[in-house]
Amino acid sequence: MDKTILTIKVYKNSTKIGLCLDVSGRVLDRVEIIPIGHLDHTLIEGVDKLLKKNRINPISLSVVRSVGRIDKNSSSHKIIAAFLKAANARILAE
């Protein structure tokens, strides 16, 4: 069974966010999004578009993780942490 990993990379000062989709250790697709407006909406829309473009069902994600340095007290960190917690809780529940 293929292991599908979504990695969210937060760049310095949260000026842009990278999304990387790996399948079985191989990069399938990579995009960068620039948060305009609310980060939560931008992040969800970006992930949805990436998965839809690559015909990946969200249910088939094995792991969703975050990389990069971000201030743990920032709103950006809290939003991404909540997204990761929700995504990975769904993965574990199945």
DSSP secondary structure, 23-88, as one string:
ETTEEEEEEEE---S-HHHHHHHHHHHHHHHTT--GGG--EEEEES---TTSHHHHHHHHHHHHHH
Best mean pLDDT range from 6-15, 19-28, 53-62, 65-74: 19-28
CATH code of the domain in which 18 resides: 3.30.420.40
Is the distance from CB of 28 to CB of 53 less than 8 angstroms? no
Check whether 83 has a pLDDT greater than 90.
no
Check whether 81 has a pLDDT greater than 70.
yes
Q: Which domain holds residue 75?
A: 4-93
Q: What per-residue confidence (pLDDT) applies to 94? A: 56
Please compute the mean of the pLDDT values over residues 16-40 and round it to a whole number: 90
Instruction: Pull the structure tokens for residue 50.
Output: 């990436």
What is the spatial distance between Cα 63 and Cα 38, in angstroms, rounded to a whole number?
24
Average pLDDT across the chain, whole number: 85
Number of domains in the chain: 1
Q: What per-residue confidence (pLDDT) applies to 52? A: 94
Please compute the mean of the pLDDT values over residues 45-58 and round it to a whole number: 91
